[in-house]
């Protein structure tokens, strides 16, 4: 944490409307992310919308939106349509959350004004909030997604240099499952030449299954124009042998060749079929909200 500057800022809004995603709103209590994943798509987002350098500009400064939970609470009082995802452009459980507790206070607001929620994280700190997650889970649909693209710790030290090792993320996932919370693994992004082998995907799927993950989903690396040179430089310094394969697959675009995409989809289907990912059984129907009962009685 020491080489990262934390800057307190004030948020004007909290819920951010999104299009074309499986959720309607996103919530990001921080700007940038001390986890410093080399492939992070949010590097491009921060360059585009926060005028921040995609390399050290992203890694070295995290803005902490100090009033974010209060802004969220005010917004939730007024609008609560649709579903929300926490942590789409930053990790809501990166180390500084231990001090500021912004994500925790957002969960408190959501417990009071529930809407279907998903959380995306690599931070084992999420177990601190099991008490609130259980309360929220009683009120609405909740899934915690752990991002575990690879379980080889040597690789992860290079690709995700600021994160907890994958085994700690999976230990946290197990604790959530033991508390009855829906928790799944996102094997994302699959990195060509680095974590796309059958062996690597199989190890990730097996570890996820053993931890009790309710699902195992994957997606291939997307390299937006803003980060293409940055990602090339990273490969050249840490995985030089992989660079020609990457260049051939992406050819200067954001997505890899379709044939390769199909090949990886098939590979993941194969490994997923070897292990058990048991969906959480449906919960009993929740009793109707008091205002609904009153309305029915009035009719």
In the complex, the residues that contact ligand SF4 under the rule CB under 6 A are 33, 35-37, 40, 42, 90-91, 122
Closest contact distance (angstroms) between CB of 120 and ligand SF4 is: 7
Closest contact distance (angstroms) between CB of 273 and ligand SF4 is: 27
Q: DSSP letters of the chain? A: -TT-EEEEE--S---EE-SSSSSSEEE-SEES-TT--TT-THHHHHHHHH---TTHHHHSEEEEETTHHHHHHHHHHH---S-EEE-SSS-TTSTTHHHH-HHHHHHHHHHHS---EEEEE--GGGGGGHHHHHHHHHHS-EEEEEE-S---HHHHHHHSTTSPPHHHHHHHHHHHHHTT-EEEEEEEEEPTTTT-SHHHHHHHHHHHHHHT-S-EEEEE----GGGHHHHHHHHHHH-GGGHHHHHHHHTTSSS--HHHHHHHHHHHHHHHHTS--PPPPPPPPPPPPHHHHHHHHH-
Comparing CB distances to ligand SF4, the nearer of 15 and 227 is 227
Comparing CB distances to ligand SF4, the nearer of 61 and 90 is 90
Comparing CB distances to ligand SF4, the nearer of 39 and 239 is 39
Closest contact distance (angstroms) between CB of 180 and ligand SF4 is: 25
Closest contact distance (angstroms) between CB of 52 and ligand SF4 is: 13
Comparing CB distances to ligand SF4, the nearer of 115 and 191 is 191
Closest contact distance (angstroms) between CB of 260 and ligand SF4 is: 22
Closest contact distance (angstroms) between CB of 243 and ligand SF4 is: 21
Closest contact distance (angstroms) between CB of 188 and ligand SF4 is: 9
CA distances from 54 to 39, 57, 252 (A): 11, 6, 17
Residues 64 and 7 sit within 8 Å (Cβ to Cβ): yes
Comparing CB distances to ligand SF4, the nearer of 4 and 257 is 4
Strands 61-65 and 16-17: unpaired
Comparing CB distances to ligand SF4, the nearer of 130 and 227 is 227
Comparing CB distances to ligand SF4, the nearer of 76 and 216 is 216
């Amino acid at each position: 944490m020491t080489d990262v500057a934390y800057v307190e800022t004030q948020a004007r809004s909290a819920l951010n409307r999104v299009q074309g995603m499986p959720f309607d709103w996103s919530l990001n209590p921080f700007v940038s992310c001390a986890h410093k994943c080399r492939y992070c798509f949010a590097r491009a987002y921060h360059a585009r919308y926060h005028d921040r350098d995609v390399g050290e500009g992203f890694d070295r400064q995290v803005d902490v939106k100090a009033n974010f939970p209060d802004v969220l609470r005010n917004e939730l009082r007024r609008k609560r349509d649709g579903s929300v995802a926490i942590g789409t452009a930053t990790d809501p459980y990166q180390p500084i959350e231990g001090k500021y507790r912004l994500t925790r206070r957002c969960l408190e607001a959501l417990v009071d004004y529930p809407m279907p929620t998903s959380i995306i994280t690599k931070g084992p700190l999420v177990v601190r909030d099991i008490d609130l997650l259980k309360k929220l889970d009683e009120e609405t649909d909740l899934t915690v997604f752990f991002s575990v693209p690879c379980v080889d710790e040597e690789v992860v030290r290079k690709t995700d240099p600021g994160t907890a090792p994958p085994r700690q993320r999976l230990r946290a996932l197990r604790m959530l499952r033991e508390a009855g919370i829906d928790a799944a693994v996102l094997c994302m992004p699959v990195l060509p030449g680095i974590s796309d082998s059958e062996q690597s995907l199989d190890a990730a799927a097996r570890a996820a299954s053993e931890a009790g993950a309710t699902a195992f989903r994957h997606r291939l690396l997307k390299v937006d124009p803003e980060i293409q040179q940055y990602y090339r430089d990273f490969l050249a310094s840490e995985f030089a042998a992989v660079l020609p394969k990457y260049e051939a697959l992406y050819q200067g675009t954001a997505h890899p060749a379709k044939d390769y995409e199909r090949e990886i989809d098939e590979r993941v289907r194969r490994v997923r079929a070897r292990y058990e990912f048991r969906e959480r059984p449906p919960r009993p129907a929740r009793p109707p909200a008091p205002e609904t009962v009153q309305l029915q009685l009035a009719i």
